[in-house]
Structure 1
Amino acid sequence: MNKLSTQIIAFVVVLAIVAGALYFSGVFSSDNGAVASGEDRTPRQIQILKYSDYSCPACRIYIPFQEQLKAEFGDLVDIQYRYFPLDGFPNSRTAAHAVEAANRQGKFTEMHNLVFERQDEWSPGHINIREYVTAYAEQIGLDRDQFLADLDSDEVRNRVEQQKQEGMRRSVNATPTYFIDGFMLRQNPQSYEQFKSIVELYMYRN
């Protein structure tokens, strides 16, 4: 084998390694489409779907990244939340029920943010979480009796369970798990800049 052939083979191997790294990092999936190039690229709206557990510390860590994305891209990013309470956290389901109960009174975002913000208060297994979420409900101006009724309702429990089952069918087994336009990120971004770069790749797809 001559020197030129060796160089060509080495180049091909390097390309294969780079392509594999991009694929397994979750930046690309098999039918992800081409990324447009050029100065006149027009971004399109993308959906970011997050399967999350309210007891999960990592899920809370990613909230500032999501807020930065909304601040920078506005309506171009549609961030949706899906309940995925993990069995390893004893208070996770009740926390999800509390947020969904608040959602019934139009206060999803307020309860969602407050439950994450106060995670250290209610997440330990020995804590009576109902006392905490009831106090949160009053703090954000919910009707207390309606909140407590919804908290224990089959409709709220079924809603949370349906979203978890949906996630399991999509191979979600940990939190947070992100989908961008239906494609699962195989590895979560480790910084805002990395998250932004991934989002832009999808935003400028052909």
Structure 2
Amino acid sequence: MPPNKTKPKTNRGSTSKQRKNPGSGVPKAAGPASQRAKAAGKTVRKARRGGLDTNLKVTLSLVAIAIAVLAVVLVVNRDGGDDVPASEVAQTVVRPDSHRLSSAADGKVTVVEFLDFECEACGAAYPGVERLRAEYGDRVTYVVRYFPIASHPNAFNSAHAAEAAARQGKFEQMYVKLFDNQTAWGHKEQSQVETFVGYAGELGLDVERFRADIASPEVDARVRADAEDGQRVGVQGTPTFFVNGARYEQQPTYEALKKTIDDALAR
């Protein structure tokens, strides 16, 4: 008869369940040595937390310093033209070939505007500028410089149109035409070149010559040369005015510009 095969008992060892009080689900209270170990562990953890807090404070301080340095750099970059000598600024804001809408015989006051024909702020300043031009006439030299903003769909096209008209002696007429009709052609994603060709026809220009000039590399280079001069003297947006080589920092309202011009004339 085969011997009885009795399955041997195995010792599974102690488990977390076996170490718990019945029905409590909570581990048994530890002895004094265990309590001391726990207390030591808490002290270590607290010290570690303190170290983390200190490290965090140091990190935040470094971040704050970095932000402050960055802010200074941005201000310096924004006002990069402030480091250009005044004599160089005066020569840069007005070039021999710059477009003058009026010329003062005594040359005492020169107002320069870097503008974008599609810029709404330039359009808002335009009526006040025209009023000042009418009032001061040839007592003030008024100069227009191109500064097309790349985010405006037809900023370059409109500047090219003004320059193409200038090549036929009609810069001022196209300048007026573009601003008077800004709401009709401005901020349209499609090219407005044909609209500008229509304006050229209304102004009596040679339309075929105008059409060729508006697309020519020479006209584009002339527009970009103005914009580069603007960047050299710290122009960041439009309109930006200079009065006798000094940047005009106030809002370009009729009243504020008039006061600045009157002050310059009185000197």
2:237 to 146, 150, 174: 174
CA contact (8 A) 1:177 1:188 kept: no
Identical pairs, percent: 37
State how far apart, in whole Å, the 2-side matches of 1:145 and 1:86 are: 27
Please name the residue that 2:173 is paired with.
110
The alpha-carbon deviation at position 195 of structure 1 amounts to 1.6
SS of 2:111's partner is strand
Partner of 1:163: 226
Q: Residues of 1 paired with 2:158 and 2:227: CA distance?
A: 14
Residues 136 and 181 (structure 1), Cα distance of their counterparts in 2 relative to 1, 3 Å cut: same
Larger Rg: 2
Residue 117 (structure 2) pairs with residue 54 (structure 1) = yes
* Residue in 1 that maps onto 2:210: 147
- Taking the TM superposition and a 5 Å limit, the aligned residue runs for 1:13-162 are 45-162=108-225
Q: Distance in 2 between matches of 1:128 and 1:85?
A: 15
* Structure 2 unmatched ranges of 5 or more: 1-85, 87-105
1:204 maps to a residue whose letter is A
> In the alignment, what sits opposite 1:195?
257
CA–CA distance in 1 between the matches of 2:214 and 2:107? 38
| Alpha-carbon contact 1:45-1:75 (below 8 Å) kept | no
Task: Return the TM-score normalized by structure 2.
Answer: 0.58
Residue 44 of structure 1, CA deviation: 6.9
- Separation (CA, whole Å) in 1 of partners of 2:242 and 2:154: 25
Tell me if structure 2 keeps the 8 A contact 1:44–1:204. Answer: no
Please state how far the C-alpha of 1:139 moved relative to its aligned partner.
Answer: 0.8
**CA separation in 2, counterparts of 1:109 and 1:177?**
19
Calculate the TM-score normalised by the size of structure 1: 0.75
Give the letter for the 2:261 counterpart: V
Query: In the alignment, residue 146 of structure 2 is paired with which amino acid?
Result: Y
Count of residue pairs brought into register by the alignment: 163
**Misfit runs of 4+, over 6 Å:** none
How far does residue 178 in structure 1 lie from its aligned partner after superposition?
Answer: 0.2
* Kept in 1: contact 2:153–2:190 (CA 8 A): no
Q: CA deviation at 1:70?
A: 2.2
Shift of residue 72, structure 1, vs aligned partner: 2.1
Residue ranges of structure 1 left out of the alignment (5+ in a row): 1-30, 32-42
SS in 2 for 1:66: helix
